[in-house]
Amino acid sequence: MPELPEVEHVKRGLSPKIIGEIITGVHFSEKVTAGKSSGKQTIIKGTDLETFERNIIGSTIKALDRRSKYLIFTLENEWHEHYIISHLGMSGAYFVVDQLEDIGIPNYINHWHVAVHLQSGRQLIYSDIRRFGELRYIERLEEATQIMAIAPEPFDDEALDYYLTQLTASKWQGRTIKEAIMNHSVVSGCGNIYACEALHLARINPNKTVKRIGRAKRIELFQAIVHVLNEGIKYGGSSISSYRNVEGKEGFMQTRFNIYGRKICATCGGPVSQKVIATRNTHYCTHCQK
């Protein structure tokens, strides 16, 4: 699943290509059309296809922002600003091309689902192999309740204090620290991959409950989270299975993992343990992480 660093790279890649463009049309794949016709929320969430299309055609793409793992497209027409909120799910990807075949990656060509036509003649294509992602049209940001509940961005000044306060809540005391830091109400954008890497860097066993971790160690962990997220951004994100950036290229962060997906710990050379925590496969070293 694309996490914060990957979504940040999608935002950076898309912004210069689409900001200032006017939307002139929208087309949907047969999978989306069939899904919506049968009452499913396939890709386009919260509204029918006709309403989605009618609301965005004629609008200018004014800005593109990222909030945790969500992309926020700010649209503007003669009446007001409005928005598309998008999540990449497990395998979503965006491309800006003259024609679909220009994507150049068969899986993403075959699994395109939304084509937004731009005044320049180019197309903003959303592809999604597993179809767990979404585009959701909203009139006001306050309608995006899933975003309103997210913690501050981990790079913001207030994020550390917010995180420390959240960890004092009674609901977290008996839960594992990994489950806590993967929750967006505690830390923004720290998914499974970067949680494993941060816990390894901070030398904390992911099975340890929150109540057994002191304030100093909690701070050390937060700093580790920020570090691995910054590393992820620096190295283009992690391409574990299907992630590609706007140019169709893989990231390189996976070549720098110390624990995630490894058989041998990069720190001590010992065997890597695995366990499912909060439904996610967790990698850790029992020698390095106590």
Please report, for the chain, how many H helices and E strands are present, in that order.
Answer: 9, 11
| Mode of pairing for the β-strands spanning 112-118 and 280-284 | unpaired
Q: Which two tokens stand for residue 80?
A: 């007001």
Exposure class string for 118-153: b at 16+ Cβ within 10 A, else e: beeebbbbbbbbebebbbbbbeeeeebeebeebbbb
Classify each residue of 215-252 as buried b or exposed e, where b means 16 or more C-beta atoms within 10 Å of its C-beta.
eeebebbbebbbebbebbbebbbbbbebbbbbeeeebe
In angstroms, the CA 47 to CA 42 distance is 10
Sign of the CA dihedral 124, 249, 19, 74?
positive
Q: How far is CA 229 from CA 5, 55, 188, 256, 278, in A?
A: 6, 35, 11, 12, 20
Which sequence positions are flagged as catalytic?
Answer: 2-3, 69, 280
Asked whether 61 and 2 are in contact (CB, 8 A), the reply is: no
Calpha distance 68→150 (Å, rounded): 8
Cα separation values, 78 from 54, 143, 150, 270, Å: 14, 21, 31, 62
Ramachandran assignment for 278, one of left (phi > 0), alpha (psi -120 to 50 degrees), beta (any other): left
